[in-house]
Amino acid sequence: MKTSGHSENRILTVPNLLSLFRLLLIPVFVHQYLQENYTATGLLLLLSGLTDMADGFIARHFHAVSNLGKILDPVADKLTQVSMLICLVSRYPLMLILVIIMIFKELFMSISGVLVIHKTGTVFGADWHGKAATILLYLTMFIHVFWISIPAAVSNVLIGACAVMLAVSLVLYGIHHIKALKGAVK
């Protein structure tokens, strides 16, 4: 989808500032987590999530989408998620599974996404399964941050469900990207 080059090339926009703010929150919530201040960690993670939603809303509804924002927003999202998961690994070793799946998923999505853009000129947005995986991931992280004495069985079920959803999303995106690439070859 093409819009005027002027609006897409803007750097100093409210959504971009919100994405930058989210990036700056990462070392703060990591520090709070390492200090075992889990309530502050969870509140900072919540603030990050709220600014992410505000960023997207403002960008879409006030025509403040920019090329920088198309890069900065997902980078802020993924760095926030991976940083929080790595923190949680210290108390919940199974979280490492989520870190590995997420890193593999993002690498695959980045490489295949670039190929799809190169071959088709099309940029795909997030599908329902990607959004569902993100919601489940944040829910899992919030519960583990705030529920200090979470029973191991509940923790394992949440982590397992999240791992399955991330894997399903990876497979569905993979199928979608492969179909797009095969269609471009014809």
Q: Break the chain into its structural domains and give their ranges.
A: 1-90, 91-186
Q: What is the pLDDT of residue 121?
A: 77
More confident residue, 24 or 127: 24
Q: Does pTM top 0.85 for this prediction?
A: yes
Cα gap 26→119, rounded to integer Å = 35
Confidence of residue 6 (pLDDT cuts 50, 70, 90): low
Q: How far is CA 151 from the centre of its chain?
A: 26
How wide is the angle at C-alpha 77 spanned by C-alphas 73 and 83, nearest 5°? Answer: 140
Look-up: residue for tokens 């993002």?
Answer: 106
Cα gap 8→12, rounded to integer Å = 11
109, pLDDT greater than 70:
yes
Q: Yes or no: say if 131 and 165 are a contact pair by the CB < 8 Å rule.
A: no
Q: How far is CA 68 from the centre of its chain?
A: 17
Q: Yes or no: say if 122 and 185 are a contact pair by the CB < 8 Å rule.
A: no
Helices (H), the chain: 5-8, 14-34, 38-61, 67-89, 95-120, 128-146, 152-185
Angle between helices 152-185 and 128-146 (to 10 degrees): 160
- Residue 28 CA: distances (Å) to CA of 5, 44, 51, 134, 166: 35, 8, 15, 22, 26
Confidence of residue 113 (pLDDT cuts 50, 70, 90): confident
Closest by CA to 163, choosing from 71, 92, 75, 74, is: 92
* Lowest pLDDT segment from 1-10, 45-54, 95-104, 137-146: 1-10
Q: What is the pLDDT of residue 186?
A: 61
110, pLDDT greater than 90:
no
Q: How far is CA 186 from the centre of its chain?
A: 33
57: tokens are 């809303």
Q: What is the pLDDT of residue 54?
A: 93
* Lowest pLDDT segment from 4-13, 105-114, 118-127, 143-152: 4-13
